Structure 1
Amino acid sequence: MRHPHTRTNPYRVTGALVAGLLCASGLAAPALAAPAAAPAAVPAAPAPADGLALTPPMGFNNWNSTHCRADFDEAMVKGIADLFVTKGLKDAGYRYVNLDDCWALPARDANGRLVPDPARFPNGIRAVADYVHAKGLDLGIYTSAGTKTCNSAGFPGALGHEYSDARQFADWGVDYLKYDNCNNQGADARTRYRTMRDALRAASAGTGRPIVYSICEWGENRPWEWAADVGQLWRTTGDISDSWGSMLSILKQNLPLAPYAGPGHWNDPDMLEVGNGGMTDTEYRSHFSLWSVMAAPLLIGTDLRKASRATFDILGDKEVIAVDQDPLGKQGTVVSSAGGRWVVAKEMKDGSRAVALFNESAAPQRIATSAEAVGLPDAAAYTLRDLWRHRSYNTAGTLAATVPAHGTVLLRVSADPHWATRPPAAELGLDGNPLLEAGSPATLTGTVTDLGRTPARQVSVSLAGPEGWTVRPTSATTAATLTTGGTLRTGWRVTAPAGTPTGSNDLTLRARYRSPSGQRVSGALEMTAAVVLPPPRGTSYLSDLPLLSATSGWGPVERDTSNGESAAGDGNPLTVGGAVYAKGLGVHALSDLSFYTGKACEKVTADVGVDDEKGAKGTVAFEIRADGTTVASTGVLTNALPAQPVTADVSGAQVVRLVVTDGGDGDDSDHADWADARLSC
């Protein structure tokens, strides 16, 4: 539920003019922050004797989609249980249907017992539990380790009532408890959470109903160090929001904690936002892929009554879910992350490795690693399974793909003696500048590379653009045979007609080939070409220029006001250190803004800092990047500092990016201003 500093109604803006879509899946910007240092070696905790949550819990929680709206009620909860069955989510492994805050009346009864809200749950919680159980599912409930829950209405918390509340939950048939951290009166966290552990155990002994215990104290007291014998899962971060920046920040906080996770004790980076509308399907596939490779609990946070087919396809992908639910219980670890090109590998019980190739950046990138680097034994070749495309290939050992902006390719790789029965894996790439001025040709190079131990035969490639565009090859489009490591390289001349409006346009590179046994194989790489306008001559305010792409951790990017964290236009005058600025850009970390400069500009200047509206809160760092190279940076700035002048030489750059990171301490209250930001061309 909600950290006291957490915002509601998050809104994310992303302009995807420089983006790409690999048909394998999809994620944006060379690493905004380096991953935290891994903890010292941690002895693996044994699986708990109670047998609870031996794999990460899977289910639903209403909070991210409904908060306390009136439609959070008995009918909704029953409807979610029905959808678990009819949409195949139960068969995919989802089990828990969890109620969050606002299910109770604001006051206990005369006997000190919790009272379900009769308007929301007219038949009580027991009736809901019975309905859910009849579907072969389990029911979860929420309260807080304080006098009140986190909602501003102030529903009763469990502090001082742990044993009676736990017994009440068990009597109702509750199977899962999410225990939040608001209004805790400063009581020691370990004591509060252990008291409820003991209460749940006592209730279980008295009723025969074990209850999975989810500790939700936002990672403030480093529960991964002490909670393995307290609960089955613990939150490692503040609340997630339905935004790219929030998901990315939480990912980076949770990844280093891999040594603490295992059967019955899981790191919890918060619920899934898949389907809530603040990210693209490509980004949601990345979210789901990364949570799965981190062995995170998979708790659906979207209203399944309104979910699209694409949302159900992501949430219900059994091959991806199998990565999360692998009984070995290993959390994936970072193999590499340079330039926002992440490789995260997870050891599986059968000896294979799940490997996420994750592109943090705002443009397509080639991401490569090897079977050896992800921990597989030496072998003549390996079987490579693409888990989103559901296809298997053989590889001589290289694992590589051109991954779209904000995209993830999720693989399962094994030293399989039957690798030769699979066709060779082929890596597709499209190199060159995907930014086109209408009427001016762009030169691109397509590549097809045989990664397999066996040859690819009768190889052919094609490139297709929008109707009316001219796309012509400038070199060979076929090859008789590609052996291991061999590449067919084809030049392409691409022209958008004069008058083409600015915006994103799809390009698709297709390859076809045969395996040695004659099996036909095809693949496609979808990229985005952006039609852009040349930058204006002279000096311009950046807030007056079009954005190629934009991400902001909370709320949209604001022009000439601060970031208000919610809807567009809710900010205030840009103010840093008491100085008020009429022009500039207001963002919230993590943020990344891209501008097309077309090799025609020389300088970016700005006064930067944390906006005064957050008081003493907020720590951020500013960077200016020219074609991926950092050309100016501030280091960490706090609200106590006045605006800092920044000047960057961007001569010869096609694209200039303004990046704000969170200062290394999470993104709470990180309102960042690019005040008086100007571009000289």
Structure 2
Amino acid sequence: MSAERRRTPARGWVLAASLALCATAFAQPASGAEPTPAPPAGDGLALTPPMGFNNWNTTHCEADFNETLVRDIADIFVSHGLKEAGYTYVNLDDCWALPERAPNGDLVPDPVRFPHGIKAVADYVHSKGLKFGIYSSAGTKTCNEAGFPGALGHEQQDANLFASWGVDYLKYDNCNNQGVNAIERYTKMRDALRATGRPIVFSICEWGTNQPWEWGKGVGHLWRTTIDINDSWASMLSILKLNMVRADHAGPGHWNDPDMLEVGNGGMTATEYRSHFSLWSMMAAPLLIGADLRKVTPETFEILGNRDVIAVDQDPLGVQGRPIRSAGGLHVFVKPLAGGDRAVALFNENDTPARIETNAAELGLPQASGYQLRDLWAHTDAHTAGTISAMVPAHGTAMYRIGADRHWFQYPPALDAAAEVELSYASALPVVAPGTPAAYTTTLGNSGGAPVNSVRAKLLTPPTWSVRATSDPTTTTLRENERFRTTWEVSAPPGTPPGRYPVSASFDYVNPQTGAPATLTHTSEAVVPEVPQTGTRYLSDVPWLRSYNGWGPVEIDRANGGRLAGDGGPLTLRGVTYAKGLGTHALSSVEYFTGGACSEVRALVGVDDGRAGSVTFEVWTDGERAYDSGPLTRTDPAKELVADISGAKAVRLVATDAGDGVQNDHADWAELTLTC
């Protein structure tokens, strides 16, 4: 937890740009204190990244944070197999104590939340064969607005109390630190914990402000490298990029911590949560569940309980995986494993599917005639002659374990399938407009060392759609390192409702190992847009194809507010209030389908009244910029925007930060209209 939690929503800004600002705002003086060297043998704790639960991401300080929650989570760990999968710690976060210490200086558990006390809760957790964790801050108060007592100046007293309760893990935050040097504060609590004689994992939570990866080894067992995560794709992605460059500092007993898991909290898709879990495991990150497991779906348990992926995170070699190639939003991560295998993640951060490929040489594997390849989400085994290739969905991750195997031929060849529509521009969505034929290509690739025979391609669409092959859908033999492509014409009938529809490439073939028929299917999606209506309409009345926003959601007929939909005020520019338009926050983009049938976008644009930011408004047509307002600030009058969009298949409305950061960049698109 960090002071970020206490910021009012109206002062929020896009997370990706705020990281540097927060680091400046909370920076400590770099005065003289140096870390005490780590003991030569270490203490034997956290030899693999800690796994468990922390309540903060789901409950904060709400009433349902209490001893019943803790007991229920411990029970679920056992009943749902999470304990067997490796989850060990059930941890409390802030708000467990009363606002004042006892007369003797001890911390006092909140008697409403924890009527039986903390020790009773810890005893219950221990009775399940699990371990128990607690929270404090290396300051005079914790990070919550209520200001519960921190441990600064009470380190030994609090450590003794935690040990007497049976605490196994301490998360130690950074608020209200009175400017005391971070290394000094955290080292003092480390020494206090050691003096208790109880083995307690020490989690340094100072948000990466003082570069703890440089001094944390020997002080703590793990350290936060970033500010707090939130349950959004933008937050997860920005934290990933900050943490993935710290691999040199991680290892057994000393881990980089990119913060807790959001899997199951509802702010991301299942694909995004699988990426979150995969990438945290590749980075040897602590896996602390942040969802209320009493309320999650079976799919959440499936993600959190994936033992193939957990084994990568918990590999005893203790190497943090790193990207060996990152370009254009496509990433190849590799993580060396004990025994010589490699874990590989092919990650696509973009909004559209993309093929990502690597090979054994790039992964650092020894040359071999064949390799065993395990798909860690499909839980299937294959062989490859060296290539790993996959069509990775938008925001998705394909994850594998690969190793040299002299018996590789016992496994079927690794195949990858795809169905791709011809795009109107690079990075466009896979749009299929009703009544307009779309060109598709299906592809089957063979990365194995044996041929695949009798291949027949099919393209599967919703039943009312028409599909026609425009090239041969069959081939007698697909040899190793070859791809078989078939082209298709696809039409969605006029009147098809807007939405996302499954489109699948399916291939029948003969398994070369068994001679038996087999089928491989890859499902993608087609986006059916609303067909533009003739005339002039307010764009706030038209469904968009996709959007992203720097702070909270894009607002319809309101200004951007905080993190929740509808929490902004009226659209107001220089004292004039407008009933129609969009409220965005840089960096933002809102895309609409125009299908070549529209001519003009108009609006009055500017920084919403009461905001101190600066914004540039842009209109893009099929990947080309058609309009640029130049930088606008709160002192500038509303600017009339007129953009020629003739012939464009899609139009994007973009708000940038004008090059000076995104703080308070609330961008209003008032009286926004589209003429077709």
Which bracket does the TM-score occupy, shorter chain normalised?
A: 0.7 to 0.9
Deviation track 1:29-56 (CA, whole Å, cap 9, x = no partner) reads: xxx99x99xxxxxxxx999611111111
For residue 330 of structure 1, what is the aligned residue in structure 2? 319
Deviation track 1:619-653 (CA, whole Å, cap 9, x = no partner) reads: 98877655456777899999899989988776654
Query: Counterparts of 1:638 and 1:409 in 2: how far apart (Å)?
Result: 43
Gap change, CA 1:496 and 1:137, over 3 Å in 2:
same
The structure 2 residue matched to 1:572, chosen from 565, 569, 572, is 569
Q: Which moved more, 1:480-489 or 1:534-543?
A: 534-543
Query: Counterparts of 1:88 and 1:487 in 2: how far apart (Å)?
Result: 41
For residue 306 of structure 2, what is the aligned residue in structure 1? 317
1:655 is aligned to 2:655: no
Deviation, structure 1 residue 111: 0.2
Gap change, CA 1:460 and 1:267, over 3 Å in 2:
same
For residue 474 of structure 2, what is the aligned residue in structure 1? 478
Deviation track 1:147-174 (CA, whole Å, cap 9, x = no partner) reads: 1111122211111111100111011100
Q: Which moved more, 1:582-591 or 1:352-361?
A: 582-591
For residue 162 of structure 1, what is the aligned residue in structure 2? 155
Deviation, structure 1 residue 123: 1.5
TM-score (norm 1): 0.86
Q: Which moved more, 1:101-110 or 1:412-421?
A: 412-421
Query: Counterparts of 2:243 and 2:659 in 1: how far apart (Å)?
Result: 13
Gap change, CA 1:373 and 1:469, over 3 Å in 2:
same
8 Å CA contact 1:4–1:182 kept in 2: the answer is no
Q: Which moved more, 1:574-583 or 1:464-473?
A: 574-583
Which one-letter code corresponds to 2:2 in the other structure? R
- Give 1 or 2 for the bigger CA radius of gyration: 2
Gap change, CA 1:670 and 1:472, over 3 Å in 2:
same
Q: Which runs of 5+ in 2 are unaligned?
A: 11-15, 21-37, 423-429
Which one-letter code corresponds to 1:2 in the other structure? S
Q: Which moved more, 1:420-429 or 1:543-552?
A: 543-552
Query: Counterparts of 2:663 and 2:645 in 1: how far apart (Å)?
Result: 31
Query: Counterparts of 1:454 and 1:523 in 2: how far apart (Å)?
Result: 17
The structure 1 residue matched to 2:552, chosen from 555, 577, 592, is 555
Q: How many residues align?
A: 645
Which one-letter code corresponds to 2:506 in the other structure? R
Deviation track 1:165-199 (CA, whole Å, cap 9, x = no partner) reads: 01110111000011111222222222221221111
Q: Which moved more, 1:256-265 or 1:315-324?
A: 256-265
For residue 595 of structure 1, what is the aligned residue in structure 2? 592
Deviation, structure 1 residue 217: 1.4
Gap change, CA 1:268 and 1:661, over 3 Å in 2:
farther
8 Å CA contact 1:438–1:496 kept in 2: the answer is yes
The structure 1 residue matched to 2:127, chosen from 119, 125, 134, is 134
Gap change, CA 1:253 and 1:506, over 3 Å in 2:
same
The 5 A counterparts of 1:473-622 are 473-517=469-513, 518=515, 520-536=517-533, 542-552=539-549, 554-574=551-571, 584-588=581-585, 591-601=588-598, 615=612
SS of equivalent to 1:355: strand
Q: Which moved more, 1:423-432 or 1:489-498?
A: 489-498
8 Å CA contact 2:6–2:144 kept in 1: the answer is no
SS of equivalent to 2:328: helix
Query: Counterparts of 2:206 and 2:434 in 1: how far apart (Å)?
Result: 53
For residue 287 of structure 1, what is the aligned residue in structure 2? 276
Gap change, CA 1:259 and 1:644, over 3 Å in 2:
farther
1:353 is aligned to 2:348: no
8 Å CA contact 1:243–1:553 kept in 2: the answer is no
Query: Counterparts of 1:290 and 1:610 in 2: how far apart (Å)?
Result: 37
Q: Which runs of 5+ in 1 are unaligned?
A: 11-31, 37-44
Deviation track 1:260-283 (CA, whole Å, cap 9, x = no partner) reads: 221111111111111111111111
The structure 2 residue matched to 1:53, chosen from 42, 46, 49, is 46
Deviation, structure 1 residue 657: 3.8
For residue 452 of structure 1, what is the aligned residue in structure 2? 448
8 Å CA contact 2:163–2:196 kept in 1: the answer is yes
Deviation, structure 1 residue 661: 7.4
The 5 A counterparts of 1:605-644 are 615=612, 626-627=621-622
For residue 186 of structure 2, what is the aligned residue in structure 1? 193
8 Å CA contact 1:609–1:639 kept in 2: the answer is yes
Higher RCO by CA contacts (8 Å cutoff, separation 6 or greater): 1
1:4 is aligned to 2:1: no
8 Å CA contact 2:375–2:381 kept in 1: the answer is yes
8 Å CA contact 2:441–2:487 kept in 1: the answer is yes
Which one-letter code corresponds to 1:273 in the other structure? E
The structure 2 residue matched to 1:144, chosen from 137, 141, 165, is 137
The 5 A counterparts of 1:65-144 are 65-144=58-137
SS of equivalent to 2:69: helix
Deviation track 1:363-411 (CA, whole Å, cap 9, x = no partner) reads: 2222222222232233333222110001112222222211112111111
8 Å CA contact 2:548–2:589 kept in 1: the answer is yes
Deviation track 1:504-534 (CA, whole Å, cap 9, x = no partner) reads: 1111221232332225543221111122233
Gap change, CA 1:305 and 1:286, over 3 Å in 2:
same
Query: Counterparts of 1:238 and 1:292 in 2: how far apart (Å)?
Result: 19
1:274 is aligned to 2:271: no
8 Å CA contact 1:245–1:589 kept in 2: the answer is no
Deviation track 1:558-577 (CA, whole Å, cap 9, x = no partner) reads: 12433222322111244689
Deviation, structure 1 residue 229: 2.1
The structure 1 residue matched to 2:436, chosen from 429, 440, 464, is 440
Deviation track 1:528-568 (CA, whole Å, cap 9, x = no partner) reads: 11222333557765434321122335422112433222322
Q: Which moved more, 1:329-338 or 1:213-222?
A: 329-338
Query: Counterparts of 1:638 and 1:199 in 2: how far apart (Å)?
Result: 52
Which one-letter code corresponds to 1:279 in the other structure? M
1:396 is aligned to 2:393: no
Q: Which moved more, 1:270-279 or 1:619-628?
A: 619-628
For residue 42 of structure 1, what is the aligned residue in structure 2? none
